[in-house]
Structure 1
Amino acid sequence: MSTEETSRPETLADAAEELSDTVALDVVARFGFAVLAVVHILIGVVALQIAFGGTGQAEPTGALEQLATGIAGPWTMWAFAIGCAGLALWQFSESTLRARRLPVGKRLAKAISSGSLVVIYGSMALTMARFAIGNEPDSSEFTRDFTRSMMAHPLGISVVLVVGGTVLGIGCYFVVKGLRRSFRPELQHFENSRRGAVIDALGVVGHVAKGAALILVGLLFAVAALTNRPSQSTGLDGSLKALQDHPFGDAVLVAIAVGLICYGIFAVIRARFGRM
């Protein structure tokens, strides 16, 4: 094989990376971070209401349902869908094109972390598009139906365990990222400043709370599979409400709710000043 043929894939990858490094994608991805901020803040507010005796759905679809109402609701949902799709595309380029020069170990870790976010943000974009066309989904109902349909097949329990393990792993990733402050390189603009200390605290609390919420969701998937009870898999809303059945559950729920709001505020700052 000639040198020219060998270098052709690398040349194509360089060209694709250059195409992905555009102002348009940068702007859309930043808007996607802002969308995430709004969703997390709304989920946190609903969770606080539930902790103090109120009602609501502490999950993405519950938050989006509040935004989808009104004349401008569909347009808002389309804009949010585009932002999340752009963020998913940016994460895809992060996990493939930009990661290809990293050492093998770091490349694999980046592929797993950013690849998981591609799926999450892509799913959110589809959910928002469904809201835009008036087909409002319910996250908890979808999770139960998915678990029930999977467990009706011979290998379904294994599939549900894999899904639960994946969600659990993503949750652990966020907790570790928060505790180790691995998010700092994303916001180099505020390093060694008083504002940086506040943003650091928001990042730690926010990432740990988001990770804890995902760990709860993953555990419910595992419980549903191991006990052969699909109804136990209730998504984020069900997992947070289930905390109230345990000692100090309300306090834990409040802590997670406040943490999700902190994550939302951090995501706003990330949208404006973060590295892209």
Structure 2
Amino acid sequence: MAKEDSGIQAAVGGAADAAEAASNSSWLDAVARSGFAVMALLHIVIGAIAIALVLGAPGQAEPTGAIEQLAANPWGPAVMWAACIACGGLSLWQLSEATLRGRHLPRRERLGKLISSGFLAIAYGSVGLSFAGFALGQRGDSGDSTRDFSTALVQSPFGIPAMVGLGLTIIGIGVYFIVKGCGRKFKEELHHFEGTHRGKLISVLGVTGHVAKGLALLLTGLLFVIAAATNNPSSSTGLDGSLKALRDHPFGPYLLLAIGAGFIAYGVFALVRARFGRM
């Protein structure tokens, strides 16, 4: 029996090693880098939309709105499918980070990698599905989708605690981005440029971009918590709604401008990540 168990473990370990070797292939790295570039472009477009909102222009300052902008060109369907493949590859790469390569880490670090990379794999995969939806002609308003999701969640068993938990999770992710930016922990993802003008510029972009994205996530998570506390799921409108809500406050437009500029900075940083990042 012990020999059979050891044989099964050896077979599983060998299969995992083979899968890890496949995940380290140059083609997957290339597709994942293109996925980082797509995400960079989305952040730049979202930042531009957020700034335009201050000037009274229409638009949705979130991934769906950015994808809609990218789809509005003669090569829209081809761009959508290419971006879908890129995001799918990036999702697969993050999944391999969470499972195959993460299994070599100490237990605590392995759990952290499973949570962080696993969440990113889901996030990038969902963006890839959004690109596929646009390529197939399926359009929708993200604010309406978020409100529908919130309404269904509230009406389900344990709906209010679940919505509070979701809001707090998003707030926690926002705090993570702020801490990562202020602590310059993003430098671990890049080849070193210390002591150069390029390194200083990358550091400024990284700090500004991570903090801005963190603030936007804090606002989004806060709307979920408020919706749960007031039992009003219609007030939960996602990233776009949280940014548009800033326009109604005295200093909101200035904060919206800062967040928009920060998203653009994060997008430029992500382009650097796509080119010079550690894979």
Q: TM-score range by the shorter chain?
A: over 0.9
Write the distance in 1 (CA, Å) between the matches of 2:119 and 2:111: 12
Aligned to 1:226: 229
Q: Match for 1:141 among 120, 144, 153?
A: 144
Q: Could you list the runs of 5+ residues in structure 1 that have no partner in the other structure? A: none
Q: TM-score, normalised by structure 2?
A: 0.95
Matched, 1:125 2:128: yes
Pairing partner for 1:181 from 176, 181, 184: 184
Cα contact 1:150–1:159 (8 A) shared by 2 = yes
Which residues in structure 2 correspond to 1:1-276 (within 5 Å)? Answer: 1-2=2-3, 3-276=6-279
Question: Residues of 1 paired with 2:85 and 2:170: CA distance?
Answer: 24
Distance 1:171 1:264 in 2: 17
Please, which moves more after superposition, 26-35 or 152-161? 152-161
Task: Report if the CA contact (8 A) 1:92-1:118 is conserved.
Answer: yes
Identity rate, percent? 55
Separation (CA, whole Å) in 2 of partners of 1:4 and 1:197: 53
Report how many aligned residue pairs link the two structures: 276
C-alpha distance after superposition, 1:13-63 (max 9, x if no partner): 211110101111111100001101111000100101112333221111111
| Contact residue 189 and residue 273 of structure 1 kept, 8 A | no
Report the secondary structure of 1:188's partner residue: coil
What amino acid sits opposite 1:171 in the alignment? G
How far apart, CA to CA, are the structure 2 residues paired with 1:185 and 1:214?
A: 22
SS at match of 2:185: coil
Whole-Å separation in 1 of the counterparts to 2:253 and 2:188:
34
SS state of the match for residue 190, structure 1?
coil
Structure 2: distance between partners of 1:35 and 1:138: 21
Whole-angstrom distance in 1 between the partners of 2:62 and 2:8: 50
Runs of 4 or more consecutive aligned structure 1 residues displaced over 6 Å after TM superposition: none
Amino acid at match of 1:199: I
Tell me the secondary structure at the aligned position of residue 71 of structure 1.
coil
| Contact 1:143 1:235 (8 Å CA) reproduced | yes
Q: Which runs of 5+ in 2 are unaligned?
A: none
Task: Please state how far the C-alpha of 1:4 moved relative to its aligned partner.
Answer: 4.3
Deviates most, 253-262 or 62-71: 62-71
Structure 1 residue 173 displacement after superposition: 1.5
CA RMSD of aligned residues (A): 1.4
SS of equivalent to 1:171: helix
Whole-angstrom CA distance in 1 between matches of 2:266 and 2:73: 27
